[in-house]
Amino acid sequence: MDDSQLLRYSRHILLDELGIEGQERILRGRALVIGVGGLGSPAALYLATAGIGHLTLVDHDTVDLTNLQRQIVHTQARVGQLKVESARAALLAINPTLHITTLAERGDAQRLNELVADADVVLDCSDNFATRHALNAACVQHGVPLVSGAAIRFDGQLAVYDPTRSDSPCYACVFPPDSSFEETRCATMGVFAPLVGIIGSMQAAEALKLLSGAGKPAVGRLLMLDGRDMSWSDIRLPRNPRCPVCSVAHP
């Protein structure tokens, strides 16, 4: 690190659990963020401020006026722009030394597999089960930790899946791909604005812990927040020995 970086990241360096070594690991880290909406906005912002080495943003959508209630990386002046380019402008304004790759596309399973192979950590900030399962399969295949977040109405979820650990379940262990789940979207169900900020910020925190080696990531746990009374539920997640994804990859 040069003198400017030592000053910029001094409050991280002061942390005994992180220090110079942990910050240097963050500076070398490569994070893939799928979705730059409600969850991806705070997640990307905190990864950027923390000095992530390389950030890849994937989102096919454009900024809409209805997004601004909760998607804090975007502004009214950028309505109509691609979300990835709007986010890029905001992140570089905070930290101009960032290396950012923007992909305005809806990645299919093959494309996501390619992107995951080049990442050290993946943040799932998407809003549909097809993308979530494709990301999970790619993370299992390449041994890349997955930080999964979800938020709708007043309810939020966070989980970390680390295929490098034999005791960690994968996303498919918890939400089997052959099960039917109702797709819920903010456009039809609504979402409490600060909720996505809470969950997205936690996704960034877990990703930074994984990259730096600081703390204990929330592997094997499903954290659920009820924003109505700010109560948390913490459910332990066992690995499914018959999981069609991770049991095949790691028998």
List of domains in the chain: 29-249 (3.40.50.720)
Distances in Å between the Cα of 208 and the Cα atoms of 23, 24, 141, 179, 222 are 9, 11, 22, 32, 18
| Segment 192-239, tens digit of pLDDT | 999 999 999 999 999 999 999 999 999 999 999 999 999 999 999 999
pLDDT tier for residue 178 given thresholds of 50, 70 and 90: confident
Would you say residue 188 has pLDDT above 90?
no
Let me know: does 148 contact 220? Beta carbons within 8 Å: no
Is the pLDDT confidence value at 181 over 80?
Answer: no
Average pLDDT rounded to a whole number, residues 82-100? 97
Name the percent of the chain lying above pLDDT 70.
Answer: 96
Mean pLDDT value of segment 152-176 = 95
pLDDT higher than 60, residue 251: no
**Distance between CA 47 and CA 208 in Å, rounded?**
7
Q: What is the mean pLDDT of the chain?
A: 94
The runs of H, that is alpha helices, within 156-237 are 171-174, 186-189, 193-212
pLDDT band, very low/low/confident/very high, at 177 (cuts 50, 70, 90) = confident
CA-closest candidate to residue 31, choices 144, 197, 176, 191: 144
The H or E element spanning position 134 is: helix 129-142
Instruction: Tell me if 138 sits within 8 A of 222, measured CB to CB.
Output: no
End-to-end CA distance of the chain: 42
DSSP three-state, residue 178: coil
pLDDT at site 249: 58
H or E stretch including 103? strand 100-103
Tokens at residue 87, please? 């986010």
Mean pLDDT of 152-173: 96
Q: What pLDDT is attached to residue 180?
A: 65
